[in-house]
Amino acid sequence: MSLPPIYLASASPRRRQLLEQIGIVHEVLRVPSPDGEDEPVLQNEAPADYVCRTARDKALRARDWIRRESLAPRPVLAADTTVILDGDILGKPADAGHARDMLRRLSGSAHEVRTAIVLDWQGRLQEDVSVTEVRFRPLAEAEIDAYCASGEPLGKAGAYGIQGMAAIFVAHISGSYTGVMGLPLFETHRLLRAYL
Ligand SMILES: Cc1cn([C@H]2C[C@H](O)[C@@H](COP(=O)(O)OP(=O)(O)OP(=O)(O)O)O2)c(=O)[nH]c1=O
């Protein structure tokens, strides 16, 4: 069944690649964001709420941008990926030192990766979320250093990319591999098929 073309409101090359993988015709919408950093967490906001709110905010910023720029109306897809360890949100690392701290924490234990997806069409927001448990084997200091020096942790939630060199850290996953990468394809296709 063919789906209409959509806007992908994301600067993430992974999300574009994943959407291409399942043949969804799309145009990348580059909505100017306040800065390239993670949105602040609100007081007493649970990680599960944070990831959904952030994805909704991205979709709503895209809605405003389409209106302001008088772009052709089309469904908008936005997403947010967050790594959660012991109830703490591990966002994108600010620098290599920050990445090293996160990887030390992830070493030898299991964490959760949540990716919220939001579809905005005809004035209504529809959302879904994928939840994946990822377990890292214990990491040696030297491999954490080498991984940080590679630059791969930057721009990625939790300071790693499962699709890159960090694949060798991942002992087990339970959930959605594409969700960890940034766009859960099963849930995304299901959402688009249900509402478009
Ligand atoms: C855990 C993990 C995250 N990531 C990436 C996916 C996301 O790009 C990023 C999480 O940041 P997000 O804030 O979800 O997304 P983004 O800022 O990169 O892009 P945009 O808001 O414009 O859509 O981390 C991986 O590529 N691989 C992984 O294994």
pLDDT, position 34: 67
Catalytic residues: 80
3-state DSSP helix/strand/coil % of the chain, to nearest 5: 40, 25, 35
* Residue closest by Cα to atom 4 of ligand 1: 156
pLDDT, position 51: 98
pLDDT, position 2: 83
Helix (H) or strand (E) run with residue 147 in it: helix 141-149
pLDDT, position 94: 95
Q: Which of 81, 117, 154, 188 to mutate to test the pocket of ligand 1 (most atoms within 8 A of CB)?
A: 81
Mean pLDDT by 10 residues, the chain (196 residues): 91 95 95 77 95 97 96 97 97 96 98 98 97 98 98 97 98 98 98 97
Under DSSP, the state recorded for 123 is T
Residue with tokens 């994301």: 10
Q: Which residues line the pocket of ligand 1, CB cutoff 6 A?
A: 10-12, 14-15, 58, 79-81, 83, 92, 113, 155-158, 160-163, 180-182
Which residues are bridge partners to 128 per DSSP?
Answer: 117
pLDDT, position 38: 82
Query: What CATH number is given for 6-195 in this structure?
Result: 3.90.950.10
